[in-house]
Amino acid sequence: MTRTNDIILRTTTSLIAFILIGFSVYLFFSGHNNPGGGFIGGLMTAAAIILMNMAYGSEAMAKVLPVNFRFVVALGLAIAVLTGVGSFVFGQPFLSQTYAYFQLPILGKTELATALLFDLGVYLTVIGVTMTIILTIADDRG
């Protein structure tokens, strides 16, 4: 099989993947007050990883990103559950949430909510599930 020279694809991918990841992080953080959130952010990140996978091949990606995505699913679930359980410590009902305003160095006065931690769990779970599905099907050469 002749190896095609896909330099254009690879070059544009390294540019686009960064923009995609940046956009997904933006979506993730904007979820509280604007459209976005953990689910769509996670899907967008997974899309960026898949794009790199298509351009560079899964062996190269396994070196760059040596992650077992099934563990990412479990990790995301664990984070989501623990944010719910965290309210036990404060004697509040399960899944209670709170927020506070902080003066951060660059961003200024920022609202930080514990719902963001739950969203982080969703984000990781979505990435993990999407990547597990796609990589399992892609690696199946039987």
SS3 content of the chain, % helix, strand, coil (to 5): 65, 10, 25
- Triad 60, 53, 42: Cα angle to 5°: 125
Nearer to other proteins, 93 or 105 (CB): 93
* Distance in Å, CB of 67 to other proteins, minimum: 14
Nearer to other proteins, 66 or 93 (CB): 93
Write out the two tokens for 72.
Answer: 């990412």
* Distance in Å, CB of 83 to other proteins, minimum: 11
* Distance in Å, CB of 22 to other proteins, minimum: 30
* Distance in Å, CB of 58 to other proteins, minimum: 21
Question: Which residue type occupies 103?
Answer: Q
**Residue ranges in contact with other proteins by CB under 8 A:** 70-71, 73-74, 77-78, 81, 84-85, 88, 92-97
Question: 37 and 16 in contact (C-beta within 8 Å)?
Answer: no
